[in-house]
Amino acid sequence: MESFVAILQIREFTEISIIDIAERANINRSTFYAHFLDKEDLLQQMVDEKLDTLTEVLITSSGQGMYIPSPSDPDPLLLALFEHVFAHAAFYRVLLHRNLPGQLQAKWTDAIRNGFFCRISSLGLGQKLEVPLELLLDFIAFSTGGIIGKWLEDNCAYSPHHMALQVTRIAGFGMYPSMGMHR
């Protein structure tokens, strides 16, 4: 799978053949076909594997007890998210910045969304929400996913800890106070 990611970094999905993948992985085509139906199946399995791992990481992080927002400590869920993405940066760059078939970016957003849904559910805050849950989860998933996409595009110029802390601060202070607008 790493060979496939390496090829996807330099070539469009439609331009890649099974021979390209097999040669890069130093296997023969029959070995490839013993594990995958075609390159679409390889892509789907690769995405499913990584996003399943991400989901496990986020669920584990969201259940680590009551998190008290702090401007000096990153949210453990955000830290786990940024660390996971950093550890698999080549894969996520391909996923988020290449034109791949299927609804792969939607699955990425759903994984983030579900991680935060687990956090909210575990806290029992459903009745205390200030905005509808669906809008809140969409805002979190799309803004966090967008920040991560830009961070990857910038070759992870900051550490996962730094990024998680900055996103924690934006979330904790709120969008307007983070812009310097105060009541």
Query: Is 12 a domain residue?
Result: no
Q: How is residue 73 annotated by DSSP?
A: B
Q: How large is the angle between the packed helices 39-62 and 89-97, nearest 10 degrees?
A: 110
Query: Is 91 a domain residue?
Result: yes
pLDDT at residue number 182? 77
Q: What is the identity of the amino acid at 72?
A: S
Structure tokens given for 146: 């967008």
In angstroms, rounded to a whole number, what is the distance separating the alpha carbons of residues 141 and 133? 12
pLDDT at residue number 165? 97
Query: Is 25 a domain residue?
Result: no
Q: How is residue 63 annotated by DSSP?
A: T
Tokens 């991560």, residue located? 148
Characterise 146 by phi-psi region: left (phi > 0), alpha (psi -120 to 50), beta (else): alpha
Query: Is 81 a domain residue?
Result: yes
Cα radius of gyration (the chain): 19
CATH code (residue 135):
1.10.357
Residue 101: which of 50, 159, 40 has the closest Cα? 40
pLDDT at residue number 126? 57
In angstroms, rounded to a whole number, what is the distance separating the alpha carbons of residues 113 and 29? 38
Give the pLDDT of the chain (183 residues) as one tens digit per residue. Answer: 889 999 999 999 999 999 999 999 999 999 999 999 999 999 999 999 999 999 999 988 876 667 788 889 999 999 999 999 999 999 999 999 888 887 888 999 999 999 999 888 887 765 688 899 999 999 999 999 999 999 999 999 999 999 999 999 999 988 888 888 876
Q: How is residue 126 annotated by DSSP?
A: G
pLDDT at residue number 175? 87
How many domains in the chain?
Answer: 1
Query: Is 33 a domain residue?
Result: no
Query: Is 128 a domain residue?
Result: yes
Residue range of the domain that includes 168: 43-178
Query: Is 35 a domain residue?
Result: no
Q: What is the identity of the amino acid at 65?
A: G
Q: How far is CA 103 from CA 23, 106, 107, 109, in A?
A: 28, 5, 6, 10
Q: Can you give the pTM of this predicted structure?
A: 0.91
